Amino acid sequence: MKMLIGGQQADAQSGKTFDNINPYTNQVIESVADGAHEDFEKAGVLAKKAQPAWEALDFFKKAEIFDKFVGLVKENIEAISRTMCAEGGKAISECRGEVECLCVVFDAYKEAARHFYGHTVPLNAEERTVGDLIFTLREAIGVIATVTPFNFPVELYAHKVAPALISGNAVIIKPASDTPKSAYLLTELLHKAGVPVDVAQFVTGSGKVFGSWLSTTKKVDAVSFTGSTPVGMELMRGGANNLQRVFLELGGNDPFVVFSDADLDLAVAEAAGGRCWNSGQTCCANKRFLVENSIKEEFTRRLVEKLKTVTMGDPSNESVMMGPLVSEKAAIQVEDQVAHTIRQGARCILGGKREGAFFPPTVLTEVTPDMDIAKDLEVFAAVFPIIGFDEFEQAVAISNQTCYGLASGVITNDYRKALRYAKAVKAGTCVIGGSGNYRSVHQPFGGYKHSGIGREGTGQTLLEMTQEKSIVIKKIF
């Protein structure tokens, strides 16, 4: 698979490639161009030159291009879904749902941008401005590098590329090396729909090398990144060199709190469904399960029974609920994390051992608040550490003892208690009555602390991906 630079299929100038591997079969899908600084800079030069004309294009014409793109995606939903399933190991039903979500996101940003207004400063707001008219416009930043992770290669493509383009920016699209093909197909459809080829550049290669280039280039004005916290910190440091705007959606070790008055059937269903989605590889999935001690044993028993019904196997099989993790390397890391937690005193009562790239639903009991998994150890698989508590304040304290603050969930029949918890938890989202594994295109999605900077959502991203200009007409009145 080649890059798309200036609308041309391009090998890396070095000739280097890397393999895109199917984690279920462990077979190579294809070789992918391994781009470097010189490739990325070429894309940046072309994007920088093309951006002003794209920004100047009438909004209704951009909207027509978005409509055509969404139509093309819907025509190709099965091919895109099958590609995502093969390269990432995601269950095929989830893949289709993700492509449908992309269509919703592009439509939502198109409509939000249609009503993205400037404002007028009140006339005669101060003595020295009497008779002056002051109003504002929103203008594009310029060139935005969008860096997406492996776990949602299509949905997060939409959350970054759609607002960037509709607000007049050019984009340099850099997908995760584990899942580049689905993003390639989408970029081809963008071009087919009418986005100028220089406005949407597509590059592949090492994330570390791409980050290094971002820290030196003058062709990129902003970076939108979803991924790990350490990489996000590196991008912040690199962005300072040229005062790039850097938007970060990072990791989480999200709490899910079950109080003694909870509907246990609901609690178990939400815990299992939210954690097993995408085989547990979701930033906002609840990863620490705080259960009031008086019901902890019963909750755990029901959870284990529920998880025993989860089907694993070929992700292209319609009946399979969980496919493999994105790679065998990822499964090895999770197995090591579980073993580390057991060494710290936890007991594994379900799962715990990988098979190739597969990691089954795993339940850990006797987990205490001082263990790493109860604090800052983020596990990217369907692992359920059960942590007991007795008092409301204790649940809040355990929830907030992590360096992260992305999402949270709480189950209780006392909505006053739920709202108290939602106010007390240090997280960007709290879902009452459900799993924190929740996202709407219209909510301000993002995290506190080390979970990121900025928010993604129709009410926020258009502001972040544009800049405000004041225009003054002197003595007009």
CB atoms within 10 A of CB 173: 27
Task: Answer whether 257's CB lies under 8 Å from 290's CB.
Answer: yes
- 249 annotated active-site: yes
DSSP 178: T
**CA distances (Å), origin 338, targets 15, 34, 291, 295, 403:** 40, 33, 20, 24, 20
The sign of the torsion formed by the CA atoms of 403, 407, 412, 415 equals: positive
Q: How far apart are the first and last CA of the chain?
A: 61
Of residues 155, 249, 292, 378, which has the active-site annotation? Answer: 249
Task: Answer whether 55's CB lies under 8 Å from 168's CB.
Answer: yes
- 423 annotated active-site: no
Tokens of 369: 């608040």
Of residues 48, 110, 160, 174, which has the active-site annotation? Answer: 160
Tokens of 337: 């994390």
Calpha distance 294→458 (Å, rounded): 42
- 348 annotated active-site: no
Domain boundaries, the chain: 3-250+451-473, 254-440
Q: pLDDT tens digits for the chain (477 residues)? A: 999 999 999 999 999 999 999 999 999 999 999 999 999 999 999 999 999 999 999 999 999 999 999 999 999 999 999 999 999 999 999 999 999 999 999 999 999 999 999 999 988 889 999 999 999 999 999 999 999 999 999 999 999 999 999 999 999 999 999 999 999 999 999 999 999 999 999 999 999 999 999 999 999 999 999 999 999 999 999 999 999 999 999 999 999 999 999 999 999 999 999 999 999 999 999 999 999 999 999 999 999 999 999 999 999 999 999 999 999 999 999 999 999 999 999 999 999 999 999 999 999 999 999 999 999 999 999 999 999 999 999 999 999 999 999 999 999 999 999 999 999 999 999 999 999 999 999 999 999 999 999 999 999 999 999 999 999 999 999
- 87 annotated active-site: no
Of residues 276, 283, 284, 430, which has the active-site annotation? Answer: 283
Per-residue pLDDT at 101: 98
Choosing among 3.40.309.10, 3.30.1370.60, 3.30.930.10, 3.40.190.10, the CATH entry for 254-440 is 3.40.309.10
Calpha distance 184→169 (Å, rounded): 19
Per-residue pLDDT at 123: 84
Per-residue pLDDT at 226: 98
The two counts, helices (H) then strands (E), for the chain are 14, 21
Strands (E), 34-106: none
Q: Which helix (H) or strand (E) holds 321?
A: none
Contacts of range 459-465, beta carbons closer than 8 Å, 24 or more positions apart: 459/112, 461/109, 461/159, 461/163, 462/109, 462/112, 462/113, 462/116, 462/138, 462/163, 462/166, 462/167, 463/138, 464/245, 464/247, 465/140, 465/141, 465/144, 465/163, 465/164, 465/167, 465/169, 465/222, 465/224
Per-residue pLDDT at 125: 87
Calpha distance 161→19 (Å, rounded): 25
Tokens of 50: 């093309």
Fold of 3-250+451-473: Aldehyde Dehydrogenase; Chain A, domain 1 (3.40.605)
**Bridging pattern class, strands 133-140 and 466-473:** antiparallel
Calpha distance 144→170 (Å, rounded): 6
Task: Answer whether 164's CB lies under 8 Å from 143's CB.
Answer: no
